[in-house]
Structure 1
Amino acid sequence: MNRVTRQHIDRTRQRKEKASRRPPSSSADLIGRPASLPWFLEFVGLLILPACAALGLFSPSHMAFEMDRERLRTEQPSLAQMTRRALQLLAAAPDGFFLMVEGGRIDHAGHMNDPVAAVHEVLAYDEAVAEVLKFAAWDNSTLVISAADHETGGLFQGENEFPDYAALAGISSSMEALADEFHRAVRAVGKPDEEAAARKVLRMAGVPDANLTSEEVSSLIEVADEVGIEYLEGGLPLKLGEAISRVLHVNWTTSHHTDVDVSLGVFGGESLRIKNNIDNSELGDAVIEALRVDPWKGHSFTHGSSSEDDCNLA
């Protein structure tokens, strides 16, 4: 995505420099030149922007998990809000447009074996899909494809007991956010009080800690400093996910990707040509055909009907 972002900003800058006959500029600092492209750190900026190319950066790294977004007062927009605004900005594009919306934190929840965040992320993605379907039904020519590149975590039902859905619904924090709170609580007390502090922070997040053994809590305390790391590195978030999943009777086979088939949904223009089980590479072919573009020659889409002056790009 970094390469895509760099290419997009470079091309936008080049078009503007060509139109204004300015000398070419460097793009090493992608956000240090606000005149090259409208960019925003707060969602309200995008809400008042006219239809044009724009860049919204609402977090220095990954966006917050949906269930933490409002609880932690991040002021980040939801996936559905960003999707709705993107469609509004792109709707006037005379050549049509390609929009990719990724529910990327579904994958992160799987890497952490976090059943609670996974549910909330899937629901957030579903709300974003609803925005796209609403637009496609109004537009009557948009092709909508909903797919995944892989499954993560190997979630399966392998016990005689069903998952404890009531307990799952009562947990208020992702494992990522809970790990930070767990770390602070445990390190704020002396060793004799660590287990009590750990159980207290778990109960405050709605975790039924009574079903966690002292050995399990101790194993969590041992990795209490492994927080603030990349989701692929495991650490305390993964250990919390594993322990809480056991309590909830939720089963995972791995903390990495799997090769099982994934769901595919299509709607709208030319969707009938996509059916049955297909290889994921065929979806790219379908998009190319729908856009009527030559992938070898490339294509430059016009960003709506607004001029650069409307976007304050001068």
Structure 2
Amino acid sequence: MKVNKKVIGVTLASSLALSTLGFTADNSKVEAKKDPEKAKNVIVLVMDGVSSSTTTLARWYKGEPLAMDEILTGGVRTYSAESAITDSAPAGTALATGNKSNDKFVGVLPTTVTSPGVDQSLAENPYKPVANVLEGAKISGKATGIISTSEIQHATPAAFSSHVTHRSDYDNIAEQQVYQNMDVVLGGGKNTLLSQNRKDGEDLVNVIESKGYDLVETRDELLNSESNKLWGTFASSALAYDMDRSKTNPEEPTLAEMTKKGIETLSKDKDGFFLFIEGSKPDWAAHANDAIGMISDTLAFDDAVREAIEFAKKDKNTMVVAVSDHGNSGISIGNQNTNGSYPSIPVSTYVDPLKKATMTLEGALKQLKSDKSNVLEVAALYGIDNPTPAETKELNNSTNLGKTLVQLLATRANIGFTTGGHTGEDLFMYSYGPGKPVGFVENTDIAHSVASAMGFDLKKLDDQLFVNAEVAFKTIGATVSINASNKENPILVVQKGKTIAELPVNKDIVLINGKENTLRSVTVQSNGIFYVSNEVVELVKKGK
């Protein structure tokens, strides 16, 4: 257990069956290796927006098997509570909490359930926060972390570390993440940590440093750090695409480097760890129909999976799960040009045009001069070399160069796209190690497999972490009110006799008669309702 984590006297273990959190009745640790279905460590990796055709194309492009191929164990259904095609927020919520939810919802229950087979009762507690596997791992005494190539406040990493009613609520997501007291946080999103960019004016960088993190902002700083608590903020928003990084942002680490460092840091904890990793930008590339960006960051993600597998093989007590949260773009290897000729078209016809690109669409467009005088040079960076007269005319006359470039490259490579949005197909699942999920599963099943492997039950955990504050305190004869003098950071005020407890939203602290105590979970306000842990209710009840 980490010595820098203050824990108040009354713990959740007193009200939650200890065995479900990995403890025996005498509070000693259950040794995971005694149970082949239990894992000391769990690593969950999500490649955002990667369809099966994308992994196929990436494999052909690489010219050899992917690391993921070695641990292919099944498939996953990705639909949300209301749609055959999910957004990243409910997809992440399903993977993290084991609950289907609605568009844009992060870590909270849905208001609407229309998808066949989804439990209708989920909508009976709309917007209620639900416990995730990272919170369960932390309460079990494990080290925890999240890694992302987007802003860490983006939908999927947010689903593993926060609870909000809309994925765009970066201010509240960031605050909850800071006060979750994770041990490793690596990615982008520095803007949302800065006081001048936040509605509440809180300086979260100062809070991070006060919590004992080594705050690193470059690749070298990350790789040279020896701290047990790491917070890496490498970009104002998202990190660069892997293919572009050496030219545009060489000071940023790769996803594989962040993964390796994250594992090295977290594995120092004798109780084990949980680590979430997202390769975020294949999704962004897919939205733009940028095949180069999709391949670039799918391969970068695969390198991260390789790091996880190598650790798990040596450790022999680590579960690894890699999956995509949803498809995107409807990418196909083959298009209208190949209708009658596909049986005789070699792989090189699809791959060689793609290999001419030296930058992704994002990277190439950043090289465009304001007067657009270097359009053909930019096109060459994206693989459109030696353009035909017709292609040259299209490029020079284009009013949307990005769209023109992806269309020209898709035509050259015989790649098809059906949409610039998400798609609803079933996807592959990759897993390794003790307790790993196998077969054809729901995305929600992955969360429950992860929780089970770490020795706890998500439903029981949820019953302890997030109860309606007004209802819970009323049952013990306490009254509640809200101090909204700072409307961006309201405080729940609870009074029972001479005991006054103050719970700031999004934080893991409670002030009881002015004395600050650290809690095991954050207090959440969702749709106007405060949710607290039973831990706090017991404290107020006992007047401590």
Shift in CA distance, 200/247, structure 1 to aligned 2, threshold 3 Å: same
Q: 2:364 aligns with which of 178, 192, 209?
A: 178
User: Is the deviation greater in 285-294 or in 256-265?
Assistant: 285-294
Give the structure with higher Rg (CA). Answer: 2
Query: Over residues 114-134 of structure 1, what are the superposed CA-to-partner deviations in whole Å (9 max), with x where a residue is unaligned?
Result: 111211211111111010001
Q: Does 1:10 align with 2:187?
A: no
Give the corresponding residue for 2:265: 89
Give the corresponding residue for 2:395: 217
2:259–2:308 Cα contact (<8 Å) kept: yes
Partner SS state of residue 333, structure 2: coil
Q: 1:167 aligns with which of 353, 358, 369?
A: 353
1:10–1:27 Cα contact (<8 Å) kept: no
Q: CA deviation at 1:139?
A: 1.1
Give the corresponding residue for 2:375: 198
Query: Over residues 191-243 of structure 1, what are the superposed CA-to-partner deviations in whole Å (9 max), with x where a residue is unaligned?
Result: xxxxxx422332255423524535532453x13xxxxxxxxxxxx43442233
Distance 1:11 1:146 in 2: 24
Q: Does 1:58 align with 2:240?
A: no
Q: For 1:151, give the aligned amino acid.
A: G
Give the corresponding residue for 2:297: 121
Q: CA deviation at 1:281?
A: 1.0
Distance 1:114 1:140 in 2: 38
2:333–2:350 Cα contact (<8 Å) kept: no
Q: 2:210 aligns with which of 5, 20, 35?
A: 35
Q: For 1:130, give the aligned amino acid.
A: R
Give the corresponding residue for 1:255: 420
Q: For 2:244, give the aligned amino acid.
A: D
2:219–2:253 Cα contact (<8 Å) kept: yes
Q: CA deviation at 1:12?
A: 3.3
Matches within 5 A, 1:98-117: 98-117=274-293
Shift in CA distance, 166/288, structure 1 to aligned 2, threshold 3 Å: same
Give the corresponding residue for 1:293: 456
Q: Does 1:208 align with 2:385?
A: yes
Q: For 2:330, give the aligned amino acid.
A: G
Distance 1:300 1:92 in 2: 21
Shift in CA distance, 114/61, structure 1 to aligned 2, threshold 3 Å: same
Distance 2:332 2:452 in 1: 36
Q: For 1:133, give the aligned amino acid.
A: I
1:142–1:269 Cα contact (<8 Å) kept: yes
Give the structure, 1 or 2, with the largest relative contact order (CA under 8 Å, sep 6 or more): 1
| RMSD between aligned residues | 2.5
Q: CA deviation at 1:94?
A: 2.6
Q: CA deviation at 1:45?
A: 2.4
Q: CA deviation at 1:73?
A: 4.2
TM-score using structure 1 length: 0.76
Give the corresponding residue for 1:244: 409
Long gaps (5+) in structure 1 = 14-25, 190-196, 224-235, 302-314
Higher helix share: 1
Distance 2:377 2:317 in 1: 54
Q: 1:47 aligns with which of 195, 201, 223?
A: 223
Query: Over residues 234-279 of structure 1, what are the superposed CA-to-partner deviations in whole Å (9 max), with x where a residue is unaligned?
Result: xx434422332122211111111100111101101112xx222111
Q: For 1:8, give the aligned amino acid.
A: Q
Partner SS state of residue 181, structure 1: coil
Q: For 2:204, give the aligned amino acid.
A: L
Partner SS state of residue 60, structure 1: coil
User: Is the deviation greater in 286-295 or in 82-91?
Assistant: 286-295
Partner SS state of residue 266, structure 1: strand
Distance 2:179 2:396 in 1: 51
User: Is the deviation greater in 105-114 or in 289-298?
Assistant: 289-298
Distance 1:188 1:238 in 2: 15
Distance 1:209 1:100 in 2: 43
Q: 1:284 aligns with which of 439, 447, 461?
A: 447
1:43–1:56 Cα contact (<8 Å) kept: no
1:175–1:238 Cα contact (<8 Å) kept: no
Q: For 2:178, give the aligned amino acid.
A: I
TM-score using structure 2 length: 0.45
Partner SS state of residue 258, structure 2: helix
Partner SS state of residue 427, structure 2: coil
How many residues matched?
265
Q: CA deviation at 1:9?
A: 1.8
Long gaps (5+) in structure 2 = 1-151, 162-173, 183-199, 466-518, 522-544
Query: Over residues 146-204 of structure 1, what are the superposed CA-to-partner deviations in whole Å (9 max), with x where a residue is unaligned?
Result: 1011011111134325553112111101101112223x16x154xxxxxxx42233225
Q: CA deviation at 1:28?
A: 2.6
2:357–2:383 Cα contact (<8 Å) kept: yes
The percent of aligned pairs where both chains have the same amino acid is 24
Q: For 1:43, give the aligned amino acid.
A: R
